[in-house]
């Protein structure tokens, strides 16, 4: 039994010794690689670049703080581009904690879902869109409205616009496209009005008000 134990321990000693040799070789390789890349500056693809003033030709010395600023500015520029030009969005359905819902239309502005539209059949009163469908969305997928600015309810003929907190009686038609026009109260007029970029952004920037009068802090 003692011989068997001794033989087993000897095997472990050999394995430990071999592992220690491997670790030593890896440490040596890492030191050589560091020296080659970061001391002699001969990293892959730049082995034959001339060294000027201690750095590869075309490089420049900068304080570390300047590098952080450059990185911050690069990130800021990238985000600005996203805000200005928008983000490509693929929208299928909305997943809540328990349910999935597929909205009729969600309008994105620079990747942000600002517009929600619920359409009913032409034979249905749009009040049903408010009392049944919109109420269900708010209950099952409330995060769909975290960024919402406008809600449109329509049935192919009639249409009204409101906000996520509006009662149904506070949803209103879009009566005309220009002030000097006679106007036509219907779904086409509302869609042409709200989907016009200038009108949409004007409403978003200047006609949204949050009422804190009933909130107790």
Tell whether 12 is covered by a domain. yes
Residues 112, 15, single domain; the answer is: no
Average pLDDT, rounded, for the chain: 85
Q: Are residues 99 and 200 in the same domain?
A: yes
Whether pLDDT at 79 is above 60: yes
- 122 and 195 inside one domain: yes
| Residue 46 φ/ψ, nearest 5 degrees | -130, 25
On the question of pLDDT at 217 being above 50, the answer is no
Check whether residue 110 and residue 188 sit in a common domain: yes
Residues 137, 151: Cα–Cα separation, whole Å: 12
For the segment 119-136, what is each residue's pLDDT rounded down to a tens digit? 999 999 999 999 999 999
Burial classification of residue 190, based on how many CB atoms lie within 10 Å of its CB (0-12 exposed, 13-18 middle, 19 or more buried): buried
Q: What is the CATH number of the domain that holds 169?
A: 3.90.1570.50
Q: What is the mean pLDDT of residues 43-71?
A: 76
Q: Give the list of residues 6+ apart from residue 59 with CB closer than 8 angstroms, or none.
A: none
Mean pLDDT of 17-29: 90
pLDDT at 214: 62
* Residue 43 in domain: yes
- Is residue 85 over pLDDT 70? yes
Backbone angles phi, psi at 11, to 5 degrees: -60, -40
Range of the domain at 140: 94-206
* pTM of the model as a whole: 0.61
Q: Establish if 74 belongs to a structural domain.
A: no
DSSP for residue 129: I
Provide the pLDDT for residue 116: 96
- Identify the residue with better confidence: 33 or 74: 33
Q: What pLDDT, in 10s, does the model give residues 159-210?
A: 999 999 999 999 999 998 888 888 788 999 999 999 999 999 999 989 988 8
Domain check: are 105 and 163 in the same one? Answer: yes
Q: Is residue 69 part of a domain?
A: no
My answer on whether 98 and 20 are in the same domain is no
Domain boundary among 48, 69, 86: 48
What is the mean pLDDT of the segment spanning 12-41?
A: 87
- pLDDT score recorded for residue 50: 82
Q: β-pairing, 100-101 with 112-119?
A: unpaired
Lowest mean pLDDT among 11-25, 64-78, 106-120, 196-210: 64-78
Residue 111 belongs to some domain of the structure:
yes
Indicate whether 145 and 200 sit together in one domain. Answer: yes
Sequence-ordered strand ranges (E) for 15-155: 51-52, 55-56, 94-95, 100-101, 105-109, 112-119, 150-154
102 assigned to some structural domain: yes
Measure Cα distances from 203 to 110, 153, 196 in Å: 16, 17, 11
Domain count, the chain: 2
Task: Mark 144-168 as b/e (b = at least 16 C-beta within 10 Å).
Answer: bbeebbbbbbbbeebbbbbebebee
Residues 48-58 have a mean pLDDT of 78
148 located within any domain: yes
């Amino acid at each position: 039994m003692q011989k068997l134990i001794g033989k087993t321990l000897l095997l472990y000693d050999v394995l430990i010794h071999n592992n220690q040799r491997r670790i030593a070789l890896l440490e040596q390789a890492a030191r050589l690689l560091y020296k080659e890349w970061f001391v002699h500056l001969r990293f892959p693809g730049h082995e034959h670049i001339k060294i000027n003033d201690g750095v590869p030709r075309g490089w420049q010395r900068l304080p570390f703080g300047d590098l952080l600023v450059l990185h911050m500015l690069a990130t800021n520029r990238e985000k600005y581009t996203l805000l200005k030009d928008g983000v490509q969005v693929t929208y299928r359905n909305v997943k809540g904690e328990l349910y999935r819902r597929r909205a009729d239309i969600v309008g994105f502005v620079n990747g942000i879902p600002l517009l929600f539209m619920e359409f009913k059949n032409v034979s249905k009163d749009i009040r049903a869109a408010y009392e049944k469908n919109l109420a269900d969305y708010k209950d099952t997928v409330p995060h769909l409205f975290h960024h919402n600015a406008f809600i449109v309810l329509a049935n192919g003929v009639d249409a009204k616009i409101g906000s996520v907190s509006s009662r149904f009686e506070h949803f209103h038609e879009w009566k005309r496209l220009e002030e000097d026009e006679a106007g036509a109260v219907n779904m086409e007029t509302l869609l042409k009005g709200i989907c016009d970029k200038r009108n949409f952004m004007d409403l978003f920037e200047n006609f949204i008000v949050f009422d804190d009068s009933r909130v107790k802090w």
